[in-house]
Structure 1
Amino acid sequence: MGKIACANVLSDLYAMGVTEVDNMLMLLSVSTKFSDKERDLIMPRMIQGFKDCAQEAGTTVNGGQTVFNPWLIIGGVATSVCSSQEFISPDNAMLSDVLVLTKPLGTQVAVNAHQWLDSPDRWNKIKLVVSEEEVRKAYLRAMSSMTRLNRIAAQLMHKYNAHAATDVTGFGLLGHAQNLAKHQKSEVSFVIHNLPIIAKMSAISKACNNMFNLVQGTSAETSGGLLVALPREQAAAYCKDIQNQEGFQAWIIGIVEKGNRTARIIDKPRIIEVPAKETDGELWD
């Protein structure tokens, strides 16, 4: 949870192509419902996870605030002092750009499905479309994805001349795409055709009468990927470079066309199962 929170905070800078972070603050809420034993076991691990992720990002945690609260909460602030050449303003998407997504969708569904393993009523709704093993693997994939930094994707935005980007988190893919489109200088709109989704999560969402709105693009993500507008002729190379450096896929999921600063997902988007096939002992290959 600490690592996920830290990665999520850092993505706000990464979405602007800023990869050198000068300082981080950690904001922590200790649950008043914890026993002393639970507090002493859980909180140090969360703090260490946050600090470990910050170290991986090449920065340090130098302060913050801790409060007591009924809810367990962790978050933070990341800051960087940089020149205008070191960040990419998120408002320059151009006609004929394409849209790239750097992490698969479906983390909310994966986490919920994993909890449902202990809830027979809920498990009965999805057991015909997914096995317990597949749910456990999806949960591990979600954890892997949420703790992975968007740092390399952000670095490569400069190399491949990205024009605009946002991170995909609580408002889901469509929510963040709409927010990004709304702030473009040019009269453009975003159209999304492809949805890369953690394997089996679209089937679970469908079995639950689309209660997560996953395919509709409003399922909340936590520490999701970057949604990047890139020149069409450079997007494939951007995805390939991420694959070469990190070993993870990125996908061209849509286009930038002339429009009135809106975003939409087509009626029947192509669902890309991630990974496309299962390999024993491997999460993503």
Structure 2
Amino acid sequence: MTTPIKLTSLSSKGGCGCKIGPADLSQALRSLPPTVTNPNLLVGLDTSDDAGVYKINDNLALVQTVDFFTPIVDDPYYFGQVAAANAISDVYAMGGKPITALNIVAFPISTLDKSILAEILRGAGDKLNEAGVALVGGHSIDDKEPKFGLAVTGIIHPDQIRTNTGAKPGDKLILTKPIGVGILTTSIKKDLLSDDEITRVTNVMTTLNKTAAETMDAYNVHACTDVTGFGLLGHASEMAKGSDVEINIAYNQVPILPRVKELAEAGSVPGGTKNNYAHVKDIVSYPDTMDQIDRWILCDAVTSGGLLIAIGNAEADSLVTDLQANGVEAKIIGDVVEGKSGHITVN
């Protein structure tokens, strides 16, 4: 997966393509005027959920989301695939079916070969086809560094929405992809990964959450979110706060990609990961024996990560078995308990 141009070197933000940190974003959003009250807006800004949901009628609601970022892999075709899988994921996390997408393109058209842009769009198009999503248009600008993403629309029955606010004491937490993506993609920029390691982390990012979402449709899932830019603990904290519960995470059960700790110790910890750690520091209790690197790993800024699912204890093992049988790297990583709302305890 190499190209004459290293796409990751063109990003001023480095390898992770990180979002604005949660603390800075929260501060900016506080200045927004009150939004228009609309009874058909079923999921909006209030709960930091993955997508907005707007009711059309008693049987149909729209799921809407948008995501874009700078290159996190050097191969333009796979960058397009990662961006598409990442944007579509929010619809799957809400329990919806993605149906249409719009491309969002920023590209230095006068300094980079147009074939690179064509490959980015081809990669995204192939991933949209895999998801059964129709590309209906897009918008492009000439920019000094490449950025790409999509706005995605899905559909869902208003009574079948999965939010991040329904976790209940006694639930088990299931994660469907390994973490450590931000640290590895930062390492790509530093030429610290082998071709096989680049392929492994790229495969994680380009894998749709479609199979995981369809598998859990047969179960009584209480809450769901996808693990992306704010890291495992950041998104878990949103679930804990929105559900008015406390969450326990068993660190030795969390799936982590190979060499993540080694590379983090060598300095490949993206700024977004450190921002995530700082944001949740006061609401997470870590074991005294856990070092700083392991704490950063739990907060690592993920691109196109897995689903974090809260489900009753009685169904958890069965769901994991079905997910694994369908090729999903799912593991139980913790549970939900009564306690301090929004708090996380790492064991």
Contact persistence 2:224–2:307 (CA under 8 A): yes
- In structure 2, the gaps of 5 or more residues are 1-78, 275-292
Residues of 2 paired with 1:87 and 1:58: CA distance? Answer: 20
Q: 1:188 aligns with which of 242, 245, 261?
A: 245
1:250 paired to 2:330: yes
Tell me the secondary structure at the aligned position of residue 149 of structure 1: coil
Contact persistence 2:183–2:268 (CA under 8 A): no
Structure 1 residues 27 and 254 mapped into 2: Cα distance closer, same or farther (>3 Å)? same
Q: Deviations over 1:33-60 (max 9, x none)?
A: x52xx33120011011111111101111
- Please name the residue that 1:2 is paired with: 80
Q: In the TM superposition, what is the alpha-carbon distance from 1:209 to its structure 2 partner?
A: 9.0
Spell out the pairing of 1:82-121 with structure 2 (5 A cutoff). Answer: 82-117=156-191
Structure 1 residues 221 and 265 mapped into 2: Cα distance closer, same or farther (>3 Å)? farther
Residues of 2 paired with 1:171 and 1:263: CA distance? Answer: 16
TM-score by length of 2: 0.66
Q: 1:215 aligns with which of 289, 294, 307?
A: 294
Spell out the pairing of 1:65-80 with structure 2 (5 A cutoff). Answer: 65-80=139-154
Q: 2:107 aligns with which of 22, 30, 43?
A: 30
Contact persistence 2:186–2:269 (CA under 8 A): no
> Aligned letter for 1:174?
L
Residues of 2 paired with 1:241 and 1:52: CA distance? Answer: 27
Q: 1:149 aligns with which of 172, 193, 208?
A: 208
Residues of 2 paired with 1:110 and 1:81: CA distance? Answer: 34
Residues of 2 paired with 1:265 and 1:73: CA distance? Answer: 36
- In structure 1, the gaps of 5 or more residues are 118-122, 124-131, 270-285
Residues of 1 paired with 2:156 and 2:180: CA distance? Answer: 34
Contact persistence 1:160–1:235 (CA under 8 A): no
Tell me the secondary structure at the aligned position of residue 198 of structure 1: coil
Q: In the TM superposition, what is the alpha-carbon distance from 1:261 to its structure 2 partner?
A: 2.5
Q: In the TM superposition, what is the alpha-carbon distance from 1:262 to its structure 2 partner?
A: 1.5
Q: In the TM superposition, what is the alpha-carbon distance from 1:92 to its structure 2 partner?
A: 1.2
Tell me the secondary structure at the aligned position of residue 221 of structure 1: coil
Q: In the TM superposition, what is the alpha-carbon distance from 1:208 to its structure 2 partner?
A: 3.2
Contact persistence 1:174–1:263 (CA under 8 A): no
Q: In the TM superposition, what is the alpha-carbon distance from 1:239 to its structure 2 partner?
A: 1.6
Structure 1 residues 39 and 252 mapped into 2: Cα distance closer, same or farther (>3 Å)? same
Q: Deviations over 1:210-265 (max 9, x none)?
A: 675663222111000011111112112212212211x2321101110002332425
- Please name the residue that 1:282 is paired with: none
- Please name the residue that 1:200 is paired with: 259
Residues of 2 paired with 1:203 and 1:160: CA distance? Answer: 38
Structure 1 residues 44 and 210 mapped into 2: Cα distance closer, same or farther (>3 Å)? closer
TM-score by length of 1: 0.80
> Aligned letter for 1:235?
A
Tell me the secondary structure at the aligned position of residue 174 of structure 2: strand
Let me know the Cα RMSD of the aligned residues.
Answer: 2.0
Q: In the TM superposition, what is the alpha-carbon distance from 1:81 to its structure 2 partner?
A: 3.0
Residues of 2 paired with 1:202 and 1:174: CA distance? Answer: 17
Residues of 1 paired with 2:183 and 2:269: CA distance? Answer: 10
Contact persistence 1:94–1:256 (CA under 8 A): yes
Residues of 2 paired with 1:39 and 1:210: CA distance? Answer: 31
> Aligned letter for 1:95?
P
Contact persistence 2:212–2:328 (CA under 8 A): no
Contact persistence 2:212–2:323 (CA under 8 A): yes
Contact persistence 2:85–2:205 (CA under 8 A): yes
Residues of 2 paired with 1:138 and 1:209: CA distance? Answer: 15
Q: In the TM superposition, what is the alpha-carbon distance from 1:78 to its structure 2 partner?
A: 1.1
